[in-house]
Structures are given as C-alpha cells and as structure tokens.
Structure 1
Amino acid sequence: MSFSLPTYHPPDFTTAKLAAAPLTRFARVQRDGVAPPDYHATSIFPEYLHLAPGDWRLLTDSRMDCVVRRGEKGALEVVEFRRLRCGDRVALGRHEDGSDGIYVHTSGFRFAEQRPEKFAFRTLTTRESSFSFDYDELSTLLEHEREAGFVLWVLGPALAFDRDARAAFVRLVRNGYVQGLLAGNALPTHDLEAALYGTALGREIYRKRPVAGGHYKHLDALNTLRELGSIEAAVKRGLVGEGIVHALVEKEIPYVFAGSIRDDGPLPEVVADAYAAQDTMRALARRATTVICLATQLHTIATGNMAPSYKVLADGAVRPVFFYSVDMSEFAAQKLINRGSLTTRAILTNVQDFVVTLERGLKARDQGPGS
C-alpha cells in the first residue's frame, strides 16, 4: 500500500453567487475580551473571507469556536475571545455561503466513498469493526509524515502502565514517528515512576504485582523530580535512563504537560495555568499534520477543538490534518467524529495493543519484504 495526500479542490469563486458576494464586514471591539454583535465564529473547515473584489483570503492556523481579527496591514488572525482588545477589528456574519462575504468550504477534500449502497451493515465504528486496513493505512501515512509532516501524539497514562507498550513507543520516538507530544501530569509521572522503580501506581509494569509501599512510588517519583528541578536534569544526571520521557528529551521532541485540578505534585514541567497550557498546546497543534490520541478523552477533545481539518503549507498548498482517536470506549473514540471532523478515525482497542501492533507493522515496513 502506498500513500498519497488527497487533492484539495478550492471553491469556484467565478460562480454567480460568489462573484457577486459582498466584502466581509468588520467591526471594532468596544471592550477587551468581548466580540462585537454578529461576530463570525470559525469552524474546523477551510474558510475564505472576501477582502477586496475577487480577493478571497483563506484562513490559516484556524481552530473552531474563535473569531477572525484583521490586522492593520490586512493580515487575518484566528484568535480566542480572551485575546480581543479594544479597537481590534473582528469579522462579522452568521451566513457561511458567501452572502456575508464569508465562505465555509466543507467539500474541499473528496475522500473516497466508503458506502456503495444506501443500506449496508456495520457502517459505524464499533468494537465489532475490523481494523486491519486502518493499521496498514496509518502505517503508510506515518511513513509519509516522518519525511514531510508533523505527527502530534496525545497520550493518556495507560501507555506507561505496560512494559511492552512503553518500549514500543520509545522505538516510535527514536525512529522518527513522533514530532510532538501532549499529555497531562499523569503520563510523565507514571513513566518516570517506571523508569525509577519499575512500577506504575505501585504495580510492576510487566507482572502487575503490587510492591511493598507501592502507593508511595509515584509520589516519590514526583518528589525526586521536583527536588532536581526538571526532567532534563534527571536525564542528564543519569537518574532516568529509559522510558518515554527519556526518549523525548534525548531526541529533543517538544512536549506539553498540561495540569488539571486533580494533579498531585505536579512535575516541574507541568503547565499549571489552564490558559497558558492551552496556548502552549495550540502552538504544537498548529504544526500538526497528523494527530494520534491514545486513551485520554479530555485531552483528545481539547486537541480536537484546537486542530482544524486542514493545514496551509509553506508553498500555499492545502492538505488535510488526519486525526486518530484510539480508546477502548466507543463513546470516547467517537467523540471527535461527532463534532463533524472530516478526517477523524476511531480505532477501538486498548492502547497497549495498539502501540505494539503499530510499531511492529512499521518495523516490518522499514525492513522490507522478506524481513
């Protein structure tokens, strides 16, 4: 199986309705953080604003549920409401068909039709679905992205609870399939606990046997890292010599660990302020061309809300952002699909099996036929 990006088909702005469309209206912000009445809220789809006759401008670095701010030199910026300042010019219009000078393009990528008949069985992703093709398709995608994209992984702590899963993910990092990572405090805490003590939440990561004083292990890991001042210091001193976090530091992969109300510790690198965490997460989400979320419903939803369905490349080409949600729960895995994403795929399995199977398949592809 070979991979090729789907072709983007821009709107035809010569059609009568779009050719006669008015220019986009803008209004000044009267109060910090408050958009003017009739503001336009962005979606996950490619959106064009009519700035001058015949000049339809595609939004870049978009995300859903934001507003469009126009700079003094005409540049368009998609920003959260909290970033608005008095005097900013914000795009207006609730109609998305061009009649307000705004066109939301929902059919830019023409993906192959998966359902040839009006009535068919098993059209939704469930625990009964087969995923062999999905693994092969993802493998070809990751091979492409390793050379020409930015793969952002969003991890829940379950990945750190299993020896083989940790080892498989470390190999993914070292082999170039990870360009960025988002997680909460729990994932790095338990990965570092495993590196220091061979446990996760006080249980051995291979045999799952509880150890004496096990309930102290993750707290001891947190306390040790807090005393050293950083994860990088623990790696440089040789205290942490293996694991997911070690591989990230070793390969200089950017990561964001976002705090939550329930955190213990937390680790020194955890961003405790929710909006500061959102800002740093979005900085990586903007770079992503593929996002893979593993067993973390809240972080999956958060990242999905930050990532549009498309990305404008440096040469002006437009490509889709692929989004995978992997979870044992049908509800969690389908959550992003339900928001209307064009490219979200759900794979229903435990994340330990997913990572091990995926890495094994990529290794076989790297070694070639007959390996």
Structure 2
Amino acid sequence: MSSTIRFLMCPPDYYDVDYVINPWMEGNVHKSSRDRAVEQWHQLFHIIKEHAIVDLVKPQPGVPDMVFTANAGLVLGNNVVLSRFYHKERQGEEPFFKQWFEEQGYRVYELPKDLPFEGAGDALFDREGRWLWAGYGFRSELETHPMIARWLDIEVLSLRLMDERFYHLDTCFCPLSDGYLLYYPGAFDSYSNRLIELRVPNEKRIAIKEEDAVNFACNAVNIDHIIILNKASDELKQQLGAVGFQLIETPLTEFMKAGGAAKCLTLRVTEPIREEVHAGAAVESRVIRMEGHLLDAGLINQALDLIVEGGGSFQVLSFNLGEQRQSTSSAEVKVTAPSHDVMETLMSQLIDLGALPPPQEVCDINYEVVTQAGVAPDDFYVTTIYPTEVRVKCTWVRVQNQRMDAAIVVDEETMTAQCKLLRDLKPGDRVVVGVEGIRTIRKTESREQRNTQEFSFMGAGVSSERRVELVVEQIAWELRQIRDQRGKVVVTAGPVVIHTGGGEHLSKLIREGYVQALLGGNAIAVHDIEQALLGTSLGVDMKRGVSVRGGHRHHLKVINTIRRCGSIANAVEQGVLTSGIFYECVRHRVPFALAGSIRDDGPLPDTQMDLIKAQEEYARLIQGADLILMLSSMLHSIGVGNMTPAGVKMVCVDINPAVVTKLSDRGSIESVGVVTDVGLFLSLLVQQLNKLTSPYQIAQPV
C-alpha cells in the first residue's frame, strides 16, 4: 500500500451507549455488545488500512464517544480547528484530542467555549479541495463558519440540517472523488438544497432515498474510488457502480446505536489543498434592537423562533427586563444568516415584528432608480399595513399613503417617502431596496394584541372531500373522445387549482392536448408562476404545505419579474419561466385570457384590466367549444356560463356546493356539478386518462 492518505481512529476500548444525546441512542443505553463493537471496529480498521495509513489516538475512560474521531476537529494541512462539543457528555474529549494534535505538530485553533462546532462531523471538504461544506442546526453554530474560513483559508458553504436523525452533516452528506456527491436531500432545508444544486452538477449528484439514509449510507469513508460503508441498497450500489465507484460494506450496527458509522469512526487528516483557493464565507451578521412588552406579548420568542426557522442563528447580546407590569423591555440580538439573501429575508420579517437597527447604525436607506415604467428594481422592499419610517439623510421619515404590497418611493430633496403600486412606478422614481434603514412603528398595545401567528394569506387546510371516481371516469372518457376528434375543450380555472396541488395535473392536460383554451384571472397566473419560480403559492410551500416566512411577498416578486420580461410568453422565450400551466400554454400554443379585477396586484402584463375587452376575449375563446371545464372559480365560472350557448357541455368543480348550484340554476341541462376538492379531482382525472388508450398524436411544442 503506497497511499499517502491518512486517517485518525480510536479503538473502542471504552465504547458504550452511556447516555442519550441523539435520537439513535434512545432505547439503546447499555444495549451495545462490547465484543461485537470491537469486532466491527477492527473490520473497518483493517479495510481502511489496506488502502490508507491509519494513526491511532489512545482511548480514555469516561468518554465512550471518543471512538467517533470525526468529531475530534477539522484538519487542513498543518492546521486544525479543535471541536467544541455541544453536549457536556462529550466535552471531556477535547483535551485528549488537543494533546494528540499538538504532539503531532499541528497548529491548533480553538473556538470560544460557548460556540459549538463538532469538527469533521459537521464540516466536509470537497474531495477536489475547492471548498468546505459546513453544517449547522443541531450541533454546530453558524457563527463558527467565518472563523473556520479565515483560519483554514478556504471558502465555506453553509448547509442547514433539518432532521434530528441526521444531526451531523456527515450522517447525510458525503463528498466523493471526481466531484461526485452522495447525499440525502430530505435532511436539508430548501435553501441548502438549492445551494447544493448550484455547486454540484446534476450528473454528479447522487441523491439517496430514506431507506439508505437511515442505514447511514452517507456516513461513508471515501478513498479514491472506494467507498466503505455500513450498508447500501442494490439500487444505490448500481448507481455508484455505474459512475466508477467500488463499494465495500462492513457491518457497523453496534455504533449505529450511538448514531454513527464508518465516517464517524474516522478523521481524515490529509485533505487536498489547492493554492488558488482562499478564504470566503457568505455568512452575514447584523444586530437588531427590540423594545416593548417582549415577554408577556411573546415578541422576543417570536423573533428568535423566526430567526432559527428562517435558517439563521442568534446571540442575545443584552436583555433589559421591565421592572413593573407597565414597564417595557428591550433587547439587542445578533442575527447570523448563511447568506445575504437569507439575511434580507430574515430582516424583512423582523422589521414586521418591530425590530429596529441600533441607534445611528444606518444613516440612509438603499434605493435604486426605476428605468422601466411599472417595474420595480430587484430586491425592492414590499410594504405591509403597518406605519413605516425610512432613514433619509440620517433622519427617520414617515412613509405616506401607507398600504400593503407596494413599493416605497423616496424624494431626498423634499425629504418625503410614499407607497406606490408597481403599476404606478415611473422612470426616475427612487425605490427603496433591501431592508437597511427601514422600521415599522406600532404602539405597545398593538404589539401585545398582535396575533402570534405569522402573517400569511393561507393558514387553513383543504376541506374534506367525497369519492368522485365514477363521475371522473365519465368526464375522462368525454375528454379523450373530444381530443381524438380534434374538438375543443375550454378550461376556466381559479387560483385554488394551484393551492390544492392541481397545477401539475392541469399542466399535463395542456401538454397532452386536452385543453384548447384557458380562461382565468390575474390570480391563477400569478400563483402558477409563483409555484414554478419559487415553489410556493401565496407564500405556502407546495411540497410541505406550510407557510414560508415572508412568503406573502412572493407573489409581488413574481409579478415584478414577469413585468420586466414584458409578458408571460416573453418570460418563456427568455428562459425565465420553465414550467407550470402558463408555460405549457405558451409552448403548446394554447391561447389564454386573463380578466382583471379591482383586487389584482400588479397586474401581470397579460391581464386585461378593461372588463369589456376581457369579456370579449372570453367570448371569442369560447366559440366552438365542445366542453367547458370550470375549476373552482365562482365569478369566472358564472360569467363564462352566462356567455356560453346551449349545447356546450359544462363541468363545474368546486368544494362549495353553492357554486355548482348557481351554475345549474341557469338552466344548463348539459352541466355536471362535482362538489369536491379541485386538486383531488384533477389528480383522479389524470389517473383515469392514463388508463385510456388512443391513437391521438400530441403535437410537438414550438
């Protein structure tokens, strides 16, 4: 064996599950077999020794988890960042690891004692030496990342862990040779998954399933093209084999009882170093100040929860508690975020809670000049209903015409600021961007009475539904027959289609030639495009079904993006919009008409705000229709019903029986009413269509 790769391991002389500090230890205290653990450790030791050099650190009584040497520290070249353990049960390991590193001649960097960081368990080098992946969320603090970047002179990419089973980064993430990555996406938040996708090409990402994740397939030792792990499914073996990796399985079940496997039991001390790579960390910190009845109104808890749930971390710098009931409290909190974008989002939400910058920290807001009528600059601040002040020439200026979902335009000459809707913006307007120098002003009583729920448009779940398979079967048969005969189906759809998860199904109907025209309002298009671009609908994460912090601003951002492009079709042609209902309409030349209303934000450039013209467009597209499918849009459905001649079949789907009844009461004997959740209906409809066969050939998109 001529390899120069070295690992540090610790014999399991004192290993046992003595306490519970992670979910894997639950129910396993003193249930690990010492003999079997020794046997499994030696098997791993000899396998690694065949391919690399192994150094040993002497085990010590009283610290049973010292066997997991991945947590000793983080080594690059002759430098090591010593671990600061989160749990007191493991803190006793620190001096023994420090002694070993010093005896080997390493330069040891030590973090403050109150700033946890658990070494190579939470920090993994790209196997090409390009950057360091660093985890946070359970055992390591985000604030350590800039220090590590500076000490080791390497770029640090921060990843937030979300699943307590995968409490260390190395339990769910394994960089491999040649730029490949083995990881479990479910362990990370959406921001981290996007970061991973940006840095690692799709063909290099090997995303594993939960069955492999819980067998610690990612907690593997990679030596060149050899991967040593506890266990892998046949599917994963095939995936890795197909790209040139050789897998060696070695049982490590006794160590899994403590929450570790192959990688946890080793520390690689020879990491690749690239001379052209230098320090860098996107981590950003800011200080906020909060005043009011912080405890009894729950404001401080809301703020701290918001920071953590939004992907950041915090440090309370000071807290002055009011001495009497009527007294107010104040606090200064240091907020840390993994990137500027995340920080801006957090600060927007904290401003909504009344957070203020420290006195005199910000003298002026940031603004950009409007260059295109009706289009705000990127990152423009979206207003709320609360009275707002902005910092202009070191003076707080009250924003006039306060309203929700607008931009703030400032005039430094007159020292004024006002809310303006997107459509009212003119070239030359100075629009506030970012969150610096902005504060909301609310009375103390307002804060106390503030609902503890986060501000959002949607908070309730979808109503229950009944079985509709039989009527769906008939509708599917009619749709297939109309399509095969080159007939015409018109769909009228409301935004509930998106909210209930029906967007992907309606997209498929359009893509496969079942829809020849689409009618709706501004909302269906905005929410469809919001889902396509941001994964949310009215700020609700469409995969997890929960409100996203600050998500109520998403629809304004989407409207602004499409307005910049000039139209939905332009957004498709420019590659901005690449999926969704309206993407499919453009790609497959399915005409659509969007009728505006008084409540529409923006609106989108395609939305016809002249009601008479919108009605004419609706009537034109309805001509020659064989069937109209009305999906949860009461006003548009009734309007379409009123302008549709007899003889046209109509299917009205709505969770509200009154909507279906109103349509039927208009005397349309060809109408079918389906009282159910529209998302369920579309899902069942697509399933039923898939069962049918037809010689129809779908036209290729243009």
Give TM-score scaled by structure 1 length: 0.60
Task: Give the alignment's Cα RMSD to 1 decimal.
Answer: 1.8
Distance 1:153-1:128 versus aligned 2 partners, 3 A rule: closer
Q: Distance in 1 between matches of 2:645 and 2:535?
A: 39
| Residue of structure 2 in register with 1:169 after alignment | 506
Tell me the matched-pair count. 231
> Which residue of 175, 179, 187 corresponds with 2:524?
187
Which of 671, 678, 684 lines up with 1:351 in the alignment? 678
Report the 3-state secondary structure (helix = DSSP H, G, I; strand = E; otherwise coil) of the residue aligned with 2:594: strand
Distance 1:142 1:129 in 2: 22
Do structure 1's residue 334 and structure 2's residue 661 form an aligned pair? yes
Correspondence for 1:153: 491
Q: How does 1:351-370 map to 2 (within 5 A)?
A: 351-366=678-693
User: How many angstroms does 1:205 deviate by?
Assistant: 1.0
Give the match for residue 323 of structure 1.
650
Q: Which residue of the other structure, out of 138, 142, 157, is the alignment partner of 2:479?
A: 142
Judged with a 3 Å threshold, the aligned counterparts in structure 2 of structure 1 residues 192 and 130 are, in CA distance, closer, same or farther, namely: closer
Provide the rounded CA distance (Å) in 2 between the counterparts of 1:329 and 1:210: 24
Identity %: 36
* 1:132 match: 469
1:235-254 pair list within 5 angstroms: 235-254=572-591
User: Which of residues 248, 273, 279 in structure 1 aligns to 2:610?
Assistant: 273
Q: How far apart, in 2, do the equivalents of 1:134 and 1:341 lie?
A: 18
Q: Residues 37-68 of structure 1, C-alpha deviation per residue, up to 9 Å, x if partnerless?
A: xxxxxxxxxxxxxxxxxxxxxxxxxxxxxxxx
> Could you tell me which amino acid in structure 2 is paired with residue 204 of structure 1?
D
Q: Summarize the alignment of residues 262-301 of structure 1 with structure 2, pairs less than 5 Å apart.
A: 262-301=599-638
CA contact (8 A) 1:188 1:245 kept: yes
How many Å separate the matches in 1 of 2:500 and 2:467?
24
Distance 1:128 1:199, change over 3 A: closer
1:218 is matched with 555
* Runs of 5+ unmatched residues, structure 2: 1-463, 696-702
Cross-structure match for 2:431: none
Higher normalized contact order (CA 8 Å, seq sep 6+, divided by chain length): 1
C-alpha distance in 2 between matches for 1:184 and 1:345 = 23
- Structure 2 counterpart of 1:259: 596
Query: Cα deviations across residues 5-42 of structure 1 (Å, max 9, x unaligned)?
Result: xxxxxxxxxxxxxxxxxxxxxxxxxxxxxxxxxxxxxx
**Any idea what the Cα deviations from partners look like across 1:92-128, whole Å, max 9, x if unmatched?**
xxxxxxxxxxxxxxxxxxxxxxxxxxxxxxxxxxx99
8 Å contact from structure 2 (residues 468, 681) kept in 1: no
Instruction: Work out which of the two has the higher radius of gyration on C-alpha atoms and give 1 or 2.
Output: 2
Instruction: Give me the whole-angstrom Cα distance separating, in 2, the residues matched to 1:351 and 1:192.
Output: 19
Deviates more, 1:333-342 or 1:129-138: 129-138
1:304 maps to a residue whose letter is G
Aligned-pair CA distance for 1:210? 2.0
Give CA-to-partner distance per residue, 1:209-242, whole Å, 9 cap, x none.
2223211100000011111111111111111111
Contact 1:162 1:206 in 2 (8 A): no
Contact 2:522 / 2:604 at 8 angstroms: preserved in 1? yes
Given residue 592 of structure 2, which amino acid in structure 1 is its aligned partner? Y
State how 1:54-73 maps to structure 2 within 5 Å: none
Question: 2: distance between equivalents of 1:338 and 1:192?
Answer: 34
Q: In 1, distance between residues paired with 2:677 and 2:526?
A: 20
Q: Write the deviation string for residues 245-277 of structure 1: whole angstroms up to 9, x where unpaired.
A: 101111010110000111110000001100000
Which letter does structure 1 place at the counterpart of 2:519?
Answer: L
Which residue number in structure 2 is paired with residue 85 of structure 1? none
**Counterparts in 2 of 1:327 and 1:162: CA distance versus 1, 3 Å:** closer
Counterpart contact for 1:301–1:335, Cα < 8 Å: yes
Change (3 A) 1:280 1:367: closer
Q: In structure 1, how many angstroms separate the alpha carbons of the residues matched to 2:671 and 2:608?
A: 27
- Contact 2:465–2:676 (Cα < 8 Å) also in 1: no
* Per-residue deviation, 1:297: 0.6
Q: Which runs of 5+ in 1 are unaligned?
A: 1-126, 311-320
Structure 2: how far apart are the matches of 1:279 and 1:290? Answer: 19
1:178 to 510, 515, 519: 515
- The answer to whether the Cα contact below 8 Å between 1:152 and 1:182 also exists between their aligned partners in 2 is yes
Per-residue deviation, 1:361? 0.3
Kept in 2, the 8 Å contact 1:194–1:205? The answer is: yes
Deviations, residues 105-155 of structure 1 (Å, cap 9, x unaligned): xxxxxxxxxxxxxxxxxxxxxx99864331121111101111331000000
Q: Distance in 1 between matches of 2:662 and 2:535?
A: 34
Q: State the alpha-carbon separation in 2 of the partners of residues 296 and 362 from structure 1.
A: 23
